Amino acid sequence: MKIKNVSIILMSALLSGALGVSCLSKSTKTQDAEQEPVKLVQTPPMGWNSFDSYGVYLHEEVAMENLEAFAEKLKPHGYEYFVIDAGWFGEFKLKEGTLYPAEKHAVKLNFNEYGLLQPSKTYFPNGLQPIIDRCHELGLKFGIHLMRGIPRAAVEANTKVKGTKYFASDIADTKSICLWNDQNYGIDMSKPGAQEFYISLVNQMADWGVDFLKYDDLVPFPDEVEGIANAIEQCGRPIVYSLSPGGDVDVNAIKSFKRANMLRVTHDIWDEQIGIDQCFSAWRKWQGKEEPGFWIDMDMIPFGQLQLMSPKPEGINGDETKEQIAKKIKSGELSNIELLAGKGWTRQSEFTRDQMYTFITLRALSASPLMMGGDLPSLDDFSLELITNKDVLECNQNGIMGTLVYEKDGIEIWNTPKKDGNGGWVGIFNRTEYSQSPSLSPADLKLNGPKKYLINDIWGNREIEEFDFIINSTGVVFLRYSSK
């Protein structure tokens, strides 16, 4: 049953002392005394998100195709969250005769009389319910993206806040607008009706059967982080709460962040070396901050086909920056080109194999959630082998963020022990632009205790007796060690 008395909700939240739980499930001790609430996702979440492959332009046909491919290719390996990213509510202008967008973000949004977003009639003419229902039929969980705040168009229409005497104009902070998507105003959580708006929105999501909420443009606004957490905790449905975007995230605000289950700590990560480097930097900054139910998120896995709704226009080489293209558009050199959401144009991931090995090894050792981003029906065998590798998944689901144990001449060694203390995994990363044959000893890997270890090279598929590695530029050696 949904709690309708907001004062009770807020009092409960205050008394709970920011427990950081999503739609709590509680257990009792044998003597009927309550235990600490158990948070969702006791191991890093695993799933698929539509942004890398479809930007904010996913439509129902390819959504269903990816869902069926998810069930076939990823579910057997423990992946469970199928997440539709932004744009699902946008009535996009389209290029004539196609489903390709003719605008970056939809000017016209579909929302109801309470300012609550509804599925796009353009891209989801049958609504989201058939996809959500099919997701649950397949034994999977459904997720969706939301932007912080309330639609600006709802404020202009001054829609009513459901269940209250207040209106959109009463709660909107019209000076708080996302820098990269101006569809919404932020919400002033000190205003009457503000908490109730988020409750009405989250309750709608719970009624639809949503299991995962990715909330964007939220990290710098702790009052709204907490307000959404309050709404989730009263909704009556277990919902995983993911905070985004990443980038410059304040470690000192972690108490508020832990009201959620996932915290993005990087900018959008794409198929280029700078993204891998940003993940290494984030790993250093956030190591040790993870715990069961709260995971440090380094964004999606950009393997496979990307940006399928952004075919390369005529006059574009494909390697220009958005700034360069914008300059050409302004000068008149290029016309009829819209700079769309995401990065670049339709392509196969441009990572080299060494970069892919490094990328997925980093994700395994850092216990970052594994959210696949590329198109699933067309996914190549090598990408699928990496994201379903037994050791990658076992190491990631071990739920311990590895630590840096060695750093010299561009070689970094990260060690992730098993929770039970019986072995673990090591990554030896070459962070340079040239191949290296580092001279290493067991002590460099922090394997210098009294135990003797069996050591296996996961990517080389061999047992290790001598540390005689040749590591390619931007490559990695991924080891599993266990006591004899």
The string of pLDDT tens digits covering residues 30-85 is 333 455 567 899 999 999 999 999 999 999 999 999 999 999 999 999 999 999 99
Cis, bond preceding 245 (omega within 30 deg of 0): yes
Is pLDDT above 80 for 246?
Answer: no
Which one-letter DSSP state was computed for residue 251?
Answer: G
Mean pLDDT is lowest, of 22-31, 177-186, 349-358, 427-436, for 22-31
pTM above 0.85, yes or no: yes
Mean pLDDT of the chain: 91
CA distance 295 to 306: 25
pLDDT at 316: 87
pLDDT digits (tens, 9 = 90+) for 187-209: 999 999 999 999 999 999 999 99
CA distances from 206 to 7, 11, 144, 195 (A): 21, 22, 11, 16
Contact status, residue 395 vs residue 416, Cβ threshold 8 Å: yes
Q: Which residues contact 135 (CB under 8 A, 6 or more apart)?
A: 67, 82, 141, 142
Mean pLDDT is lowest, of 191-200, 207-216, 440-449, for 440-449
Q: Do 403-483 and 6-311+346-397 fall under one CATH topology? A: no
CA distance 142 to 83: 6
pLDDT digits (tens, 9 = 90+) for 329-365: 888 888 878 889 999 999 999 999 999 999 999 999 9
Q: Which two tokens stand for residue 32?
A: 């009927």
pLDDT at 320: 84
pLDDT at 421: 85
pLDDT at 13: 41
- 228, exposed or middle or buried, with CB in 10 Å at 0-12, 13-18, 19+? buried
Confidence of residue 2 (pLDDT cuts 50, 70, 90): very low
Confidence of residue 449 (pLDDT cuts 50, 70, 90): low
The proportion of the chain whose per-residue pLDDT surpasses 90, expressed as a percent, equals 80
Q: What is the residue whose two structure tokens read 């959401």?
A: 341
Using DSSP, state whether 320 is helix, strand or coil.
coil
Q: Which two tokens stand for residue 152?
A: 């600006």
CATH topology for 6-311+346-397?
A: TIM Barrel (3.20.20)
Nearest to 445 by CA among 424, 461, 471: 424
Q: Where are the domains of the chain?
A: 6-311+346-397, 403-483
CA distance 135 to 463: 41
Helix (H) or strand (E) holding 151: strand 150-151
Q: Which residues contact 216 (CB under 8 A, 6 or more apart)?
A: 86, 145, 146, 147, 148, 178, 181, 244, 245
Is pLDDT above 70 for 454?
Answer: yes
**Domain 403-483 indexed as CATH 3.40.50.620:** no
pLDDT at 38: 77
Nearest to 215 by CA among 192, 256, 245: 245
pLDDT at 319: 82
Mean pLDDT is lowest, of 28-42, 216-230, 281-295, 297-311, for 28-42
pLDDT at 383: 98
pLDDT at 450: 58
Contact status, residue 357 vs residue 391, Cβ threshold 8 Å: no
Over residues 292-318, the mean pLDDT reads 94
